[in-house]
C-alpha cells in the first residue's frame, strides 16, 4: 500500500491539501463569518494576522492566516539574549562562527543521539549558505534530543521555514494552530514564526532539518507528466485547532533570530488559538505516499523526478532548495546502467539516509543517520562496488530500495560547512574517496584495428587526410592546425629493431623539432615551416616557409625523414595505415596536418 506502516499509531486528526485555504475552530462559532477582524470577536477572543509573505505578494504565492486567540502573541516582556557563547547558527559577520568553503566530497558516520538535551538545544548546524538577515539561502541541521521541552517553554524561528526529516524516534509537535505527530518516513514543515513545543513520545529522536531562509516550499511543476503523480496535494496534512487555557503561569518564549537564541517571559500560554483560517500553517507528509515515476525504456532520468518540495530562486527552474527522495521503486530500463550516473553538478547535494541501504552506495559507508555532501562541481557517483555490480547485473525488472528511504537537500548555492560539521562532531569519514572512487579501474581498450576518426589518441589529434594543394600557403594550413604532444617512443637496441621499406608516402606538416647528430629530436620553434614529402622516398622539398623560419632547421628535419628504412617505433596504426611519428624519445609538440605512409616489412 502507498502508506507507511508506522510503528507508532497516529493520534491526531488533520485537514488535507497543500497550500489550501483551511479553516478550523476548536469551539464552534469562534470563527467570525464574513469578516476577519470584527469590532468584537466571538467569545471575547483577540484577532491577530500572521503574515508569511508581504501583503502585496501575488495571490498565487500570498500566505496569510487569521488567528482568534485568548491573548495576542505580543503580550510578553522584552527579549533578552540567551546562551550567547554556545548558540550560534549563523556563521559569518553576525557571530563568531565561520564557514569552511571546501570542494572536497564529504561523508559523515551516523550522528550520535544525545539524551541530555531538548529540541531547541539539539539543533546543530552542519552546512549552509546565505544569510537569514537578508532572507537568502538555507541552513542544514542535525538534531538529536532525548528530553521533552519544558511544559512552559515554546520556540520559534524568525530565520526561516523548518523542513524536518525524522530518522529515529517521533516528534509530538504542539503548534499555535494545532498538533502534529511526526514519525520516521514522515516530514514536517513549520513555517517561519510559528511557535511550537516538541515532546518525544517514543524516546530519543534524531534527524535532519533544512531551514529555508527565503521564499516558501511549493510543489514542483509537473509539465508533461500531467495533472498528478509525485507528491499529490491531497496527501499533505495540516492540524486542526487545539488550544490550552492558562493565564496564571509564567511561560518562556524562545526565539531563534539571526541564528542566535533569545528569551522572553509572558504570563499566559502561547498555545491559546481557539480558531484560525488561512493558508499559512504547519503541515506534514508521509513519504510512503509519493507516486514515483521513471524510465520504462532506457536511460536513467535526472533525479529531479523525485522532487517532493521545491523553493525556487528568482530564476525559474533553479532552486534555492529542493527536497528530493529515493524511495522503493521498480527499475526496468533495458541496456542501461541503472544506478545514478557519475556526475558533476552546478547544484550542491546534501544527502541523508532515514533507513535501509541507498542503492547507489552499497559499499556500506553511507549509513542511516549519516550524511554526505557533494558541493558545487564536486564529482561524485556510484562507489566502485556498486559500479561493478550494476555493470554486470542481469537487466531484468528489479525493485530497489525495499525498506529504504534516502533523501537529498539540493541547492543552487555553494554550501559551506561549519566547524562543528567538519571537525567537532568527529564524524567525517576521511577515507570516503579511497573507499568509494579511488578503487575504480580503467576498462578502456583500443579497437583493433584502430578506427579513430577526428578523435584523440595519446595526445595526437588525427586530422582529415589532406591532398597536396596546388598553391599552399600559411592560411590554408593554419585553418586546420593542431598543436599538441606526440607520443614518445624510445627506440630499442638496433638488433631488436624491425625495419620497414617505404613504398610511398606523403606528409604535410609544420614541424617543431630539430634532429641532432644522434638521430634524436629536440623540440624547437621552426617558424611555420611546411615540409612536403613526395611520393618517392628520396624526394623532399620545402613548399612553404615563413620569413622567420631557419632553413638549416628544415634541412635537418628533411635529412632525418629521408631514410630508406623506418624503425617500427616510428610507426603507429591509425585507420589501418601507417602514420609516421616525428618523435623518438622526447616529448614535445608538432602541428600535424596529414601524414600517411604505406610500408612493408623488409
pLDDT digits (tens, 9 = 90+) for 218-230: 999 999 999 999 9
Residue 363 to residue 356: CA distance in whole angstroms: 13
* Other beta carbons within 10 Å of 18: 19
Given the residues 268, 374, 387, 581, select the one marked as catalytic: 374
Residue 178 to residue 292: CA distance in whole angstroms: 30
Mean pLDDT (whole number) for 314-343: 94
Q: Which pLDDT belongs to residue 452?
A: 58
- 349 classed as catalytic: yes
Given the residues 186, 211, 349, 435, select the one marked as catalytic: 349
User: Left, alpha or beta for 409 (phi > 0: left; psi -120 to 50: alpha)?
Assistant: beta
The pairing of strands 251-257 and 153-157 is parallel
pTM (whole model) above 0.95? no
Integer-rounded Cα radius of gyration of the chain:
35
- 94 classed as catalytic: no
Given the residues 94, 100, 152, 300, select the one marked as catalytic: 300
Q: Which pLDDT belongs to residue 451?
A: 58
- Going 50 to 56 to 59 to 61, the CA torsion angle's sign is negative
Q: What is the band of 94 on the pLDDT scale with cuts at 50, 70, 90?
A: confident
Flag the least confident range among 3-17, 116-130, 350-364: 350-364
Q: Which pLDDT belongs to residue 227?
A: 95
> What does pLDDT average to over the chain?
80
Q: Which pLDDT belongs to residue 361?
A: 78
Per-residue pLDDT tens for 191-246? 999 999 999 999 999 999 999 999 999 999 999 999 999 999 999 999 999 999 99
DSSP letters spanning 303-325: GGGGEEEEEE-SSTT-EEEEEEE
Given the residues 94, 100, 343, 520, select the one marked as catalytic: 343
* Other beta carbons within 10 Å of 273: 28
Distances (CA, A) of 564 to 499, 539, 568, 596: 10, 11, 13, 16
Residue 284 to residue 169: CA distance in whole angstroms: 16
Q: Are 20 and 281 in contact (CB under 8 A)?
A: no
| pLDDT at 135 > cutoff 50 | yes
Per-position b or e across 123-135, b if 16+ CB within 10 A of its CB: bbbbbbbbbbbee
Given the residues 168, 380, 387, 581, select the one marked as catalytic: 380
Mean pLDDT (whole number) for 17-43: 97
| pLDDT at 159 > cutoff 60 | yes
Q: How far apart are the first and last CA of the chain?
A: 77
Q: Which pLDDT belongs to residue 455?
A: 53
Per-residue pLDDT tens for 446-493? 887 655 555 544 443 333 333 334 444 333 323 233 334 433 333 333
- 300 classed as catalytic: yes
- 374 classed as catalytic: yes
- 520 classed as catalytic: no
Per-residue pLDDT tens for 358-373? 877 777 889 999 999 9
Residue 53 to residue 34: CA distance in whole angstroms: 23
The vertex-448 CA angle with 443 and 452, nearest 5°, equals 85
Per-residue pLDDT tens for 528-562? 333 333 333 333 333 233 333 333 333 333 333 43
Amino acid at each position: 500500500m502507498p502508506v507507511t506502516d508506522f510503528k507508532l499509531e497516529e493520534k491526531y486528526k488533520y485537514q488535507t491539501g497543500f497550500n489550501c485555504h483551511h479553516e478550523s475552530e476548536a469551539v464552534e462559532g469562534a470563527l467570525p463569518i464574513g469578516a476577519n477582524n470584527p469590532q468584537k470577536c466571538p467569545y471575547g477572543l483577540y484577532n491577530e494576522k500572521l503574515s508569511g509573505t508581504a501583503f502585496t505578494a501575488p495571490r498565487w504565492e500570498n500566505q496569510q492566516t487569521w488567528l482568534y486567540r485568548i491573548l495576542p502573541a505580543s503580550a510578553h516582556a522584552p527579549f533578552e539574549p540567551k546562551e550567547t557563547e554556545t548558540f550560534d547558527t549563523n556563521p559569518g559577520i553576525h557571530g563568531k562562527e565561520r564557514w569552511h568553503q571546501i570542494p572536497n566530497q564529504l561523508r559523515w558516520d551516523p550522528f550520535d543521539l544525545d539524551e541530555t538535551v531538548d529540541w531547541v538545544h539539539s539543533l546543530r548546524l552542519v552546512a549552509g549558505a546565505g544569510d537569514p538577515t537578508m532572507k537568502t539561502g538555507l541552513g542544514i541541521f542535525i538534531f538529536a534530543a532525548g528530553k521533552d521541552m519544558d511544559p512552559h517553554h515554546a520556540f520559534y524561528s524568525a530565520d526561516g521555514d523548518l523542513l524536518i526529516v525524522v530518522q529515529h524516534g517521533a516528534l509530538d509537535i504542539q503548534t499555535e494552530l494545532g498538533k502534529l505527530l511526526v514519525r520516521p518516513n514522515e516530514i514536517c514543515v513549520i513555517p517561519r514564526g510559528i511557535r511550537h513545543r516538541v515532546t518525544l513520545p517514543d524516546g530519543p529522536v534524531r534527524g535532519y532539518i533544512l531551514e529555508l531562509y527565503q521564499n516558501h516550499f511549493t510543489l514542483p511543476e509537473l509539465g508533461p507528466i500531467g495533472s498528478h503523480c509525485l507528491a499529490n496535494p491531497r496527501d499533505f496534512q495540516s492540524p486542526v485547532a487545539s488550544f490550552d487555557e492558562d493565564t496564571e503561569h509564567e511561560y518562556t518564549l524562545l526565539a531563534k533570530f539571526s541564528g542566535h537564541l533569545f528569551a522572553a517571559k509572558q504570563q499566559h500560554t502561547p498555545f491559546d488559538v481557539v480558531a484560525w483560517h488561512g493558508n499559512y500553517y504547519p503541515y506534514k507528509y508521509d513519504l510512503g505516499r509519493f507516486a514515483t515515476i521513471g524510465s520504462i525504456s532506457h536511460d536513467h532520468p535526472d533525479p529531479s523526478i523525485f522532487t517532493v518540495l521545491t523553493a525556487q530562486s528568482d530564476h525559474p527552474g533553479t532552486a534555492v532548495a529542493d527536497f528530493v527522495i529515493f524511495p522503493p521503486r521498480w527499475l526496468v530500463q533495458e541496456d542501461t546502467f541503472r544506478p545514478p550516473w557519475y556526475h558533476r553538478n552546478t547544484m550542491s547535494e546534501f544527502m541523508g539516509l532515514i533507513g535501509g541501504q541507498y542503492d547507489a552506495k552499497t559499499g556500506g559507508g553511507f549509513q542511516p543517520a549519516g550524511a554526505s555532501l557533494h558541493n558545487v562541481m564536486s564529482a561524485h557517483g556510484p562507489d566502485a562496488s556498486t559500479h561493478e555490480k550494476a555493470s554486470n547485473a542481469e537487466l531484468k525488472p528489479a525493485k530497489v530500495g525495499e525498506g529504504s528511504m534516502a533523501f537529498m537537500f539540493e541547492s543552487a548555492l555553494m554550501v559551506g560547512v561549519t566547524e562543528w560539521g567538519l571537525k567537532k562532531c568527529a564524524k567525517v569519514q576521511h577515507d570516503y574517496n579511497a573507499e568509494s572512487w579511488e578503487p575504480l579501474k580503467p576498462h578502456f581498450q583500443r579497437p583493433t584495428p584502430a578506427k579513430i576518426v577526428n578523435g584523440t589518441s595519446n595526445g595526437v589529434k588525427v586530422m582529415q587526410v589532406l591532398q597536396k594543394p596546388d598553391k599552399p600557403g600559411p592560411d590554408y594550413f593554419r585553418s586546420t592546425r593542431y598543436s599538441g604532444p606526440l607520443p614518445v617512443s624510445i627506440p630499442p637496441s638496433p638488433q631488436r629493431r624491425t625495419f620497414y621499406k617505404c613504398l610511398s608516402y606523403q606528409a604535410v606538416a609544420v614541424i617543431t623539432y630539430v634532429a641532432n647528430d644522434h638521430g634524436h629530436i629536440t623540440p624547437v620553434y621552426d617558424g611555420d615551416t611546411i615540409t612536403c614529402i613526395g611520393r618517392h622516398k628520396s624526394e623532399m622539398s620545402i613548399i612553404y616557409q615563413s620569413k622567420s623560419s631557419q632553413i638549416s632547421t628544415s634541412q635537418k628535419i628533411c635529412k632525418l625523414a629521408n631514410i630508406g628504412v623506418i624503425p617500427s617505433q616510428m610507426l603507429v596504426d591509425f585507420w589501418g595505415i601507417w602514420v609516421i611519428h616525428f618523435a623518438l624519445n622526447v616529448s614535445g609538440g608538432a602541428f600535424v596536418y596529414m601524414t600517411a605512409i604505406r610500408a612493408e616489412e623488409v
